[in-house]
Structure 1
Amino acid sequence: MHNLINAFPLYNFLKYCNASSLEKVVLDCGAGGSNPPLSLFHEFGYETYGIEICKEQLKKVNEFCNSKSIDLNIIEGDMTNIHFKNEFFSFLYSYNTSVHMRKVDFSVALAEFYRVLKHGGLCYVNFLSEDCDTFDKGVQIAHGEFRNIENGEEVIYCHYKDEEVKKIFHGFDIIYNEKRIIRRKINEREEYKSAYLDYILLKK
């Protein structure tokens, strides 16, 4: 039975991956949580791997895998220092992870993504746009980066200008990009706006 995931842009990324002639080996960077997108790739016959730095998120994904009797090969790991050899993966994605990482750290992660991808491999990443309502909320710690306190814990929100992102892709070619604006009603008078920049990248 198909497991519907909430990361809807990854359905589009899966379509691009399915059209590739490379072997079906995929890495999810930030793979934890109670409804892992890797389950979708597993369902389509991919050899799946995942890394997750947060122990609580690892616990949740392990509970999911146990309940479904599947092994997605998700381990504890840091996307700024990926412990796999060069050009090991055909496909790689990192959904919503740049949102809570300092820009300098995610730039390092992108270089790691490039290193572990095969030539001709595809990578999906997304970013918060400055058009998002979280922009300019909290304490600014760098351009586009704001520190907030949520449920007693520190949370960082990083926002990018539309053209800013393209300067940090470390030699990737952009084969797909989209700006998504999502508006949600809070009440009759208020709404909340999220804005994302989605990219599918090709390693030549």
Structure 2
Amino acid sequence: MSALSNLPSELVIRFVKTHFKERNSYHLADLSCGNGRHMLFMLREGHVVAGTDSSTRNVESAQQLLTKHGFEPLIIQANLTNLPFENEQFDGLLCEHMLMFLNQQELEQAIGELYRILKPGGKCFITVRNTNDTLFRTGNTLEDHTFIHFFTEEEIHQLFKAFMNVTIGVKRFSQNSLTQYSSEYLITLVK
């Protein structure tokens, strides 16, 4: 694994530094922690952090990374539709690039879980692909525009209507092409 793959994304840095600065430590969770790079960043910022991932390999990689840097991580192999946490346990949640891999029923269950484990006033940062992505409508579908679920703005507002505030930004990027690009919604929720 390269050293660059351990760096947190700029978007996560902005989310954490913008929303979790009033006191020294918040309870945060990375719900698709991958190799643990975002958990490492949040732990270094002084927060209490938990992580989940559905992949055994990712859980093991994250544990190795965080242990190597002197942390005793709480990382659990879990699915977004059944999270192993108490109600209203977290001040903040990260859920990058995961909701788009769920079918409609799983998506609704996962959103219910996000709402359940987030404290009132808590914030959640989510990234998903949107229908402006050049991959939209290029693959096989399992449901209406699903294998990677490409979201519309209206759908985001409908799915997250239980949250007090839903803010949507857009990130569009390309690598080595002027015609092929990814387009993501950057969603910040407040419970």
Residue 26 of structure 1 corresponds to 28
Whole-angstrom CA distance in 1 between matches of 2:24 and 2:122: 7
- Asked whether the 8 Å contact 2:8–2:37 carries over to 1, the reply is no
Q: State the Cα deviation string for residues 139-193 of structure 1 (Å, max 9, x = none).
A: 11112213xxxxxxxxxx110112211100141133532011112215xxx6430
Q: What displacement does 1:19 show?
A: 4.0
- Asked whether the 8 Å contact 2:24–2:47 carries over to 1, the reply is no
- Asked whether the 8 Å contact 2:170–2:184 carries over to 1, the reply is yes
Distance change >3 Å, CA 8–CA 106, structure 1 → 2: farther
Whole-angstrom CA distance in 2 between matches of 1:85 and 1:59: 23
Q: Secondary structure at the match of 1:139?
A: coil
Residue 62 of structure 1 corresponds to 63
Q: State the Cα deviation string for residues 63-91 of structure 1 (Å, max 9, x = none).
A: 21232222231111122111211111111
1:177 aligns with one of 147, 160, 168: 168
Residue 164 of structure 1 corresponds to 155
Q: State the Cα deviation string for residues 94-119 of structure 1 (Å, max 9, x = none).
A: 01111322233122111111111111
TM-score scaled by structure 2? 0.88
Q: What displacement does 1:195 show?
A: 0.3
Distance change >3 Å, CA 184–CA 191, structure 1 → 2: farther
Whole-angstrom CA distance in 2 between matches of 1:44 and 1:19: 10
Whole-angstrom CA distance in 1 between matches of 2:6 and 2:57: 22
Residue 49 of structure 2 corresponds to 48
Distance change >3 Å, CA 46–CA 107, structure 1 → 2: same
Q: Secondary structure at the match of 1:184?
A: coil
RMSD (Å), alpha carbons: 2.1
Query: What amino acid sits opposite 1:196 in the alignment?
Result: E
- The gaps in structure 2 that reach 5 residues or longer are none
Residue 192 of structure 1 corresponds to 180
Q: Secondary structure at the match of 2:128?
A: strand
Q: What displacement does 1:20 show?
A: 5.0
Whole-angstrom CA distance in 1 between matches of 2:10 and 2:47: 18
Distance change >3 Å, CA 170–CA 176, structure 1 → 2: closer
1:87 aligns with 2:88: yes
Q: What displacement does 1:21 show?
A: 6.0
Residue 104 of structure 1 corresponds to 105
- The gaps in structure 1 that reach 5 residues or longer are 147-156
Q: State the Cα deviation string for residues 4-42 of structure 1 (Å, max 9, x = none).
A: 634321122112322456950001111122x52111111
Distance change >3 Å, CA 122–CA 45, structure 1 → 2: same
Whole-angstrom CA distance in 2 between matches of 1:144 and 1:106: 13
TM-score scaled by structure 1? 0.83
Q: Secondary structure at the match of 2:141?
A: strand
**Richer in strand (by share):** 1
- Asked whether the 8 Å contact 1:49–1:72 carries over to 2, the reply is yes
Structure 1 runs, 4 residues or longer, greater than 6 Å off: none
